[in-house]
Amino acid sequence: MRWLLPLGLALAPLAAGASTPAPTFSKDVAPIFFRHCAGCHRPGEIAPMSLLDYQSARPWAKAIRESVAAGRMPPWFADPRYGRFSNDARLSPQEIATIKAWVDGGAPEGDRRHLPPAPESGDGWKLGPPDIVIDIGRDFRVQPGQDAYEHFVAPTNFTEGKWIRAAEIKPGNRRVVHHVHVSMVRDEGEAGSTSIEAMTDLTRFMIREGTLTRVRADAPVVNDACAPDTPPLPYLRGAQEGALASFLPGRQPDVFPPGTAKYIPPGTKFEFVVHYARIEEEGQTDRTAVGLYLAPGPPARVLRRMDLRNFFFQIPPGAERHAVRRCYDFERDQLLLSFTPHMHFRGKDVTYELVHPDGRREILLAVPDYHFDWQLVYRLREPVLARKGSRLEVTTHYDNSVNNRANPDPRATVRWGDKSEEEMMSNWIEWLEPEPQPAPGNASVR
Ligand code: HEC
């Protein structure tokens, strides 16, 4: 669609020169900002400035023109040749033309009476006020000086099971909270079961330093876990059940498609895993929470998440395009809904390709230019049926060369680790049963 842009460019001055008045903020531009930008560009959110009102937006007019024309804003990294996505963040050529014409026309405010109502802030909840809020249970003090992964277990006190249609994690303190996962556990003893320490078959390959874990330098190396001779190391095959909800920079909250829901059994406890980024100044206090949005009743289908990871890759110093692969062989029919790739600073690109049982290959998502700053979810507009006997091939590349400006150290041999300076290869995939199932009133937790 990008090739349409020059056309918009050519038309905009014409339109401005003709009888059509130049676009104004109040009438033409605010609706675009409210819809496509305000989720991040509002007070208390991740972007540096608010685009909710004219006074705040006006000084940024030139930068806005440039960033939308270049396709940098809103952030979206899917290769447009593959897949259609329901949360595609890109502006339409008309919207881009309107913004350009507005800036070129002097970025006027226009008549305030035309201003649409600003999107509700919902007290910091993007999805509006939740039905139920559960937090980490205490004010946690974050000490300066290093990254930390902290675990908190909080009871839901649910005496009956609940179906939820969405879950939104709200960081208590954005200055320190980098990302958060919330998982369901049955009891305190199971806490940590979603974390690396609990993957006991992995422990012998891991080193722990404080709250951080990394793979030992002398652990076996498997870059291509799709190869037929892949050794039987933990978690290189199959999949693990994923978290209930996740918060990552730029990622939209977990909203489940209509007709689907996730189930929270009675007595469930929530385990929060919070990555606190390193702060240099004085300590900070955090109290992160998850908001739950109840579904009207049992859904036709239960939403699930499976996580595919490779813990055993090794990226050589200076490598420009080091490939790491992980495959999943479908043992039953599954409807695929979304993908969230996760790598760190050296992540360069990722491709999800489905090999159908008849050998036909289909690229479901390609992200040719991955950025650690943006951890987006890509939701397929139409679910893709992966039949029993098909294989999902995930191929990622890492840039450990000096050309990668985000690279903390091109001389390092890089392996899996929690720290941003180490690497990960994680893929979360939401899926559904192809046929509606009887509601699992007594569904097990994981
Ligand atoms: C998913 C969150 C998100 C959305 C949606 C988003 N932005 Fe941003 N934007 C950011 C963040 C974070 C930054 C600062 C970091 C950066 O520049 O990468 C930023 C920076 C900017 C900048 C300054 C830097 C630059 O690239 O010139 C402009 C201008 C901007 N955004 C405009 C917009 C406009 C206009 C929209 C909507 C059409 C939009 N953004 C949508 C998060 C977002």
What would the 3-class secondary structure string for 244-269 be? CEEECCCCCCEECCCCEEEEECCCCE
Residue 84 to residue 102: CA distance in whole angstroms? 30
Cβ of 69 closer than 6 Å to ligand 1, yes or no, is no
pLDDT of residue 122: 67
What integer is the mean pLDDT of 37-66?
94
What is the four-CA torsion angle of 403, 407, 409, 414, rounded to 10 degrees?
A: -110
Percent of the chain's residues with pLDDT above 90? 72
| Most confident among 34-43, 65-74, 196-205, 432-441 (mean pLDDT) | 65-74
Q: Give residue 313's pLDDT band: very low, low, confident or very high (50, 70, 90).
A: very high
3-state secondary structure of 55: helix
State residue 3's pLDDT score.
40
Closest to 268 measured CA to CA, from 188, 386, 360, 349: 188
Closest Cα to atom 37 of ligand 1: 37
For the Cβ of 126 lying below 6 angstroms from any atom of ligand 1, the answer is no
Is the preceding peptide bond at 74 cis, omega within 30 degrees of 0?
yes
Residue 11 has pLDDT above 50, yes or no: no
pLDDT band at 198 (very low <50, low <70, confident <90, very high): low
321 DSSP assignment? S
- Name which residue leads in pLDDT, 124 or 274: 274
Distance 111 CA to ligand 1 centre (A): 26
What pLDDT sits at residue 5?
38
Distance CA 425, CA 343 (A): 5
Residue 88 confidence (pLDDT) above 60:
yes
Q: What is the CA radius of gyration of the chain?
A: 23
Q: Whose CA is nearest to atom 3 of ligand 1?
A: 40
For ligand 1, atom 14, name the residue with the nearest CA: 47
Distances in Å between the Cα of 162 and the Cα atoms of 186, 271, 431 are 15, 17, 20
* CA-based end-to-end distance of the chain: 41
Between the alpha carbon of residue 302 and those of residues 186, 286, 297, 430, the distances in Å are 19, 33, 12, 11
Among 87, 80, 406, smallest CA distance to 251 is for 87
* Residue 279 scores a pLDDT above 60: yes
Question: Using an 8 Å Cβ cutoff, are 254 and 171 in contact?
Answer: no
Give the mean pLDDT of 199-217.
Answer: 87
- CB 306 within 8 Å of CB 241: yes
Per-residue pLDDT, 318:
98
> For residues 121 and 41, is the Cβ–Cβ distance under 8 A?
no
Instruction: Please tell me the distance from the alpha carbon of residue 411 to that of residue 88, in angstroms, as a whole number.
Output: 37
d(CA 31, CA 15): 20
Q: 416 in helix, strand or coil?
A: strand
Are the C-beta atoms of residues 24 and 31 closer than 8 Å to each other? no
Residue 398 near residue 319 (C-beta atoms within 8 A): yes
Segment 371-396 shows an average pLDDT of 95
Domains and CATH numbers, the chain: 2-119 (no CATH), 124-432 (2.60.120.230)
Mean pLDDT, the chain, whole residue set: 89
Among 67, 72, 103, which is best to mutate for testing ligand 1, by the most ligand atoms less than 8 A from CB?
67
| DSSP label of 47 | S
Winning range, highest mean pLDDT, from 119-128, 189-198, 325-334: 325-334
Nearest protein Cα to ligand 1, atom 9: 47
Decide if 59 contacts 41 (C-beta within 8 A). Answer: no
Q: Is the CB of 228 under 6 A from ligand 1?
A: no
2 pLDDT above the threshold of 70:
no
Taking the model in full, what pTM does it have?
0.88
Residue 338 has pLDDT above 80, yes or no: yes
Q: Kindly state the DSSP code that residue 113 receives in the 8-state scheme.
A: G
Whether the predicted pLDDT of 34 surpasses 60: yes
Average pLDDT over residues 376-396: 96
% of the chain exceeding 70 in pLDDT = 90
Tell me what pLDDT residue 1 has.
Answer: 36
Nearest residue (CA) to ligand 1, atom 11: 47
Q: Give the per-residue pLDDT at 251.
A: 85
Q: What is the Cα–Cα distance from 443 to 446, expressed in whole angstroms? A: 8
Average pLDDT of the residues in 108-131: 89
pLDDT of residue 249: 84
Give me the pLDDT at residue 10, please. 41
pLDDT tier at 432 (50, 70, 90 boundaries)?
Answer: very high
